[in-house]
Structure formats: structure tokens, C-alpha cells
Amino acid sequence: MLPTFEIAPSAPQRGSVIWMHGLGASNRDFEPIIAELRAPWLRYVFPAAPVRPVTINGGVPMPAWYDILSFDDPPLREHEPDVRESEREIAALIERERGRGVPPEQIVLAGFSQGGAMALHTALRSAEPLAGVLVLSAYLLLPERFDAERTASSRESPVLFAHGRYDPVVPFRLGRSAHERLLSAGYASRWEAFDMEHSLCIEEVHLLASWLAERFAVKR
């Protein structure tokens, strides 16, 4: 199983967030924003991607959920066997949360860039609905497999896309087209754009906080 860094809930737990980092990054990258999310009733699980050579970076080994073969649009961008391997690893983390008493409908998959692409990819293939999916500055992996591989249950998982209008790494149009593809297939997909590049901004963090509060609102 992938190594993880975790932040335990400091209030009675309502769910878990499994959050994947971006290419070449650390699984502690998003630790500083957790307090801003104002959701102490969540357990945050940050897995570390395997270190592998990345073609677009001259074959230099770095933490990566999959090799990126080129800057072309998918499906020419990603190495499919790596994507499948990472999907299995993330699915294993979902099962571990189930074993800790957190069912899939109380689990959010989240990620930035490569990590966001993996969150979406894995959620679309889930046999059970999730609490939601956060796709931050990311895109749809293996788009030619979308119709054949997405599950009926995945349509019950709300999806939030957040993307920078000036993103030079993951083009704005790739994120937007992924959102539109989900909308056309009947998903509850929401799109939000921000005046930023390939990053997060405080307005986006506040959006994530309100979205999580909605997902895990206490029912009376």
C-alpha cells in the first residue's frame, strides 16, 4: 500500500478525504491549507506517489502517478499501465478507509494536477458512490475509455472542477472539456474558474471549504 501522511479528525468524524498531490510534489504539500478548510470532522489521507521516470522531464525520476509521454492532448499524454496501477493503489486506500469504519459514501477523492486526474479517473470507476470528487487543475485521463468504463454508481458522486484561467501546465480547455463531458453524461458536475495559473488561491480554498461543508452537513 502507498505510504501516507494523515491528519486525524479533531471532532467526531463524518468522513475522509483521500488527497493526491501533483507531479514531482510531496504528499505534505496541502497540509498548510487544512486549517483553512474548517472541517475538523474529516480525516485527511495524503498518499505519496511512486517515484518513476517522467518522459516530458527528460526521464528524471520523481514522484508521479503516471508517466507523461508528451504535452499532446490525452490519450497521447499519459502512460496507461501507470494510470491503471495508481488506480488500484487509490482503490486500496478507499478499502482501507472502509475497514476503519468509513464507507465509500463518506469518502471524497481529491487531487491537484496529476493527482486530480487520478481522483477523477478512480471515482469514475468506483462500484459505489463516493461523497464527492475534487478535481483541481486537472483533466480526464483515457477519455476514449470514458463511456465503456464509467460505472452507473459513479454518476451519484458530485464532482467539483476548479481551474486557473491562465494555467500554462494543464490547459484551461482540458479541464473545461472534462467537466462538459461529465455533464453530458448526466453527472452532477460543477465548474469554477479562478484568475490564477497552475496553483491554488485563497478564493478556491474557501470554495473547497464550503463544498466540503455541504457534502458532510449533519442531517437533522
DSSP symbol at 171? -
Q: How many other C-beta atoms are found inside a 10 Å radius of the C-beta of residue 15?
A: 22
64: helix, strand or coil: coil
Rounded CA gap, 2 and 190, in Å?
30
- The residues annotated as belonging to the active site are 113, 167, 198
Rounded CA gap, 191 and 48, in Å?
27
> Which residues touch 208 (CB under 8 Å, ≥6 apart)?
37, 134, 160, 162
Conformation bin of residue 195: beta by default, left when phi > 0, alpha when psi is -120 to 50:
beta
DSSP of 98-163: HHTT--GGGEEEEEETHHHHHHHHHHHT-SS--SEEEEES---SSGGGHHHH--SGGGGS-EEEEE
